[in-house]
Structure 1
């Protein structure tokens, strides 16, 4: 195989690399001297495997004459000119080439540069070297395999290594670098005029006051039979106008004498918003009422809302309406049922109850028109068939959506968030709206921390009191805050018309988001009439993992979510959930045939016979009819397992408060000094006060390393809540139980939620969010109601009276 020679003029000498089969035989350095005949070799030093020696200049000339090809790479211009003159003087043929300097610096086979060269530090290098440099930087930043592949694709598309490395270092954040993809907007070519609709005159006049033509999904629903009473599943992106589809059908049916409109949503906050919106129809003779699980904890004046179930429009939460059905309370004549966020069927904790509610509504009001609404569904055709409806699938965004991906270390995120929020706020849309941002993070602590770190932003989470959240909603609607920082748990919550959505975290608690949840959340970026486009940023932390995250790192999860297909909505429930729904159905059915029909209507239920047998064995059913205990259990949303807890507690003579705590414990307590303790002890201590790491600390010698005040607080906590004598203490559940009882005792003494929190902070250095505590007290009130009724049924009159007295005191 012939030898090829690569030569390159460097500072003061010429590098000579003889190559055979792509392998460097040795490294040579030539020094030239000027002679009357032109440049000639002066010294020729070679290095082979660390052995250096000089060769005669004639040896170099013989090597060059024997070479099959001589390539001269661009180098020092003046020395290169002398070397070429030397070659020409000896009539040695050669060819000038552009090569990768990285390959050359590694003294390996040279790579000619072609159209695939990559820019780097003012020059060009080959793809292989550019990818290797990127790999080194990606390894340093702990990127996972999928993230490395994404960055490599970006490099090959951009062909600029400096840009891509700058992106990893957060030095270069241009939109064309960070953009992962864009979901374009599409416009309906043939809009449907409101004037042409077959609607009652008063409704048509009302709609004309809002718009002259319908949005595409509204027009499509009408073409699919909305105004002819067809049941429809409407799947369309956020802010495409789905709600008006349900409103048009509901108000039309009411005005034409078919009955009232039920509009059901998953959250109280959404119900409050919807109540305000639907109250506008009062001018058409349709009064709006609300039916939700309103907090029973008295905290002062609350907004007064109509709760008369004889109203023409009833807005409710799923549980609020289901409670009426479970207890046999009628809703009158119902003409339309609208169920918003129907994809909640997939939710683990509440999906079975929504499935049961839909079945009971379909059974109880068979003549009503059912409209189901969802922004994202993985199997819309199959779900529509299960719901007995036709599908209106409009997967077109009215506003273009850009999705951006930036890998960011934890220490870099806050500065990055401030920058992105500031940039969005500095821009104004063509309709005059300033950019605003929703930031999703995975915990309430992070919500508060980020809101403090980002100028003109506000936290928004379930741990806040209702009036605090309403204030944030109003500030955002008025454009007085640049950003709202919220948890993923509120993704289906209140309507914030944001131009930008940022994912500080891709987890909900300690579990990664599903593709469905992710798309629900990012769909909140960009609102028709407000913004020209929506912007979404994912800021995954390379290498970050969660205990419940199935071993994936966050950077890998980001790409899975961006590329993932929507999961199917195929509800599957555990045995307890199945039994709860069969029991609730039995309370509505009046015969076995009706119960079988209800069972078939309830998506996700298995064999009816085995469920009936289990419920009868638990003394909750006789045949197909609920026992008195069964009716009480169904009315209070108790599972059979919870019924056993109450019956056992009553049989053992436990007090009502003890039984209530057996059913519901408060564990949302946080250690105020967790970060300071972690730093002092150089170990990770959880901020959750009842976490195992905190329990370990309470019984360890490490307490002596803490300052006296902090040590005293923790010892007080240990004394009051962990000295139970249980074999597994403090991992026996007694600390959680003791803390819960202490809270309820303080409440029974007349303390307000905020005063209870202050008491825990002063005594133990532990705090809670007011909203969480109010929700817990409210849950205990409902548990005490259930205990009161069960005790009455079982003849435990004293315990029933005790439960009633405690309930009143906890309510305040």
Structure 2
């Protein structure tokens, strides 16, 4: 483990190029090039670092969860083949994919605007050196003294580096949250069909860190109409059995039961998990930073600092660039348009954006077309991989609504949920001939 003190960000970049290049030129006794995983604190910074390294003749790729499945697999394969000298990623990779790297470099000791914990740090340095590939693993910490990535952070980067290298990993205590415990107990009751209390007690004792008593959990499940309690033991109701097959928590299923008559399946599915991985594009970010001149504004659309800036800045539009005024006005008209007293800090904005993305998909648009439309119309950027995974989650929730609707004998809601799934699941890549027909049809509609 090596700590390299850097006077500023520019010196960090020089060290980054030097260590990544030197490692790639070193060959192990197993005849593999040395390769580096470079950790930084944001997806945006991943691209900036990769661009700098490539300009300095260090072949580098970006890797994060926002990439599509095929994009991630392509980077993984080319890295394993030795094509790339380095891959730049966020701290999220520490617990994910297995890259055969000989060296990890910490360009930042933060994850977003939070310092890394000792446990996270040890997980990440464990990436360095793979048996059968490399002779040893190296970890390099590029540290800028007195550096903070946000005013809310305690300590500085040099303080954190010392703690990460000297402090022991904190002991971990497993605690199963209430909803997870209810889910597990309900699944056990459904699997055993009609367990005795003795069987259920045995199963309860095998749970990892239960936070509530078995009696309390059974009472909650009964209140949610998930189980009926008899003298010889509990038995799942039709709703309980359907819930166990949906992978929803009993509390979520109970909330669906209350809303199923008043809301469409799509609305219910969106409310369960709206899309939130949406960011200001580079053009708007530059305009905001130029206006702000100092301070920090989050890049996520729903970050408190960005929403606060939007609300306060529109009171004095004369000082803002036209791009910022027009974009904020559009957001307020089309995304943050509810009448809630808490607007724009309520959840309505996330739900409205989710509806906008679903409408784009139903046109139908593919992932690239959706990201392009968000960029042009709203000056927002979403990674295609994030959109794809959110649609996958949305489909799971729609299937759950369809199954629960059958319990309530609501065939109309079931059909609507399944039809919505079919429309979303249409092939993402439309054949060229069919695409031309769709484009011609859209053009004729606009003309009329």
TM-score normalised by L of structure 2: 0.85
2:248 to 638, 641, 657: 638
Structure 1 pair 440–619 and aligned structure 2 pair: CA distance change class (3 A): same
The structure with the larger Rg is: 1
2:301 to 671, 689, 701: 689
Structure 1 pair 634–557 and aligned structure 2 pair: CA distance change class (3 A): farther
Structure 2: stretches of 5+ with no match in the other structure = 427-448
Structure 1 pair 598–512 and aligned structure 2 pair: CA distance change class (3 A): farther
If asked which structure has higher relative contact order (CA below 8 Å, sep 6+), I would say: 2
What SS does the corresponding residue of 2:137 show, helix, strand or coil?
Answer: strand
What SS does the corresponding residue of 1:406 show, helix, strand or coil?
Answer: strand
**TM-superposition CA deviations, 1:158-199 (whole Å, max 9, x none):** xxxxxxxxxxxxxxxxxxxxxxxxxxxxxxxxxxxxxxxxxx
The aligned counterpart of 1:69 is none
The aligned counterpart of 1:602 is 207
**TM-superposition CA deviations, 1:330-387 (whole Å, max 9, x none):** xxxxxxxxxxxxxxxxxxxxxxxxxxxxxxxxxxxxxxxxxxxxxxxxxxxxxxxxxx
2:94 is the alignment partner of 1:491: yes
Q: CA deviation at 1:718?
A: 1.9
2:24 is the alignment partner of 1:425: yes
What SS does the corresponding residue of 1:583 show, helix, strand or coil?
Answer: helix
2:52 is the alignment partner of 1:443: no
Between the aligned partners of 1:693 and 1:548, the Cα distance in structure 2 is: 12
Matches within 5 A, 1:299-698: 403-408=1-6, 409-455=8-54, 456-545=59-148, 551-590=154-193, 591=195, 592-606=197-211, 607-623=213-229, 624-651=234-261, 653-672=262-281, 673-683=284-294, 684-698=296-310
Between the aligned partners of 1:618 and 1:407, the Cα distance in structure 2 is: 58
**TM-superposition CA deviations, 1:741-773 (whole Å, max 9, x none):** 111121122111221111111101111000000
Between the aligned partners of 1:710 and 1:729, the Cα distance in structure 2 is: 19
Between the aligned partners of 1:737 and 1:650, the Cα distance in structure 2 is: 17
Q: CA deviation at 1:739?
A: 0.5
Contact 1:440 1:502 in 2 (8 A): yes
Between the aligned partners of 2:61 and 2:405, the Cα distance in structure 1 is: 45
Structure 1: stretches of 5+ with no match in the other structure = 1-402
The aligned counterpart of 1:153 is none
Q: CA RMSD in A?
A: 2.1
Between the aligned partners of 1:678 and 1:439, the Cα distance in structure 2 is: 27
The aligned counterpart of 2:420 is 806
Between the aligned partners of 2:344 and 2:289, the Cα distance in structure 1 is: 20
Structure 1 pair 703–571 and aligned structure 2 pair: CA distance change class (3 A): farther
Contact 2:287 2:324 in 1 (8 A): no
Q: Which has the higher strand share?
A: 1
Between the aligned partners of 1:748 and 1:548, the Cα distance in structure 2 is: 42
Contact 1:675 1:685 in 2 (8 A): no
What SS does the corresponding residue of 2:96 show, helix, strand or coil?
Answer: coil
Q: CA deviation at 1:549?
A: 7.8
What SS does the corresponding residue of 2:260 show, helix, strand or coil?
Answer: helix
Between the aligned partners of 2:109 and 2:177, the Cα distance in structure 1 is: 27
Contact 1:512 1:549 in 2 (8 A): no
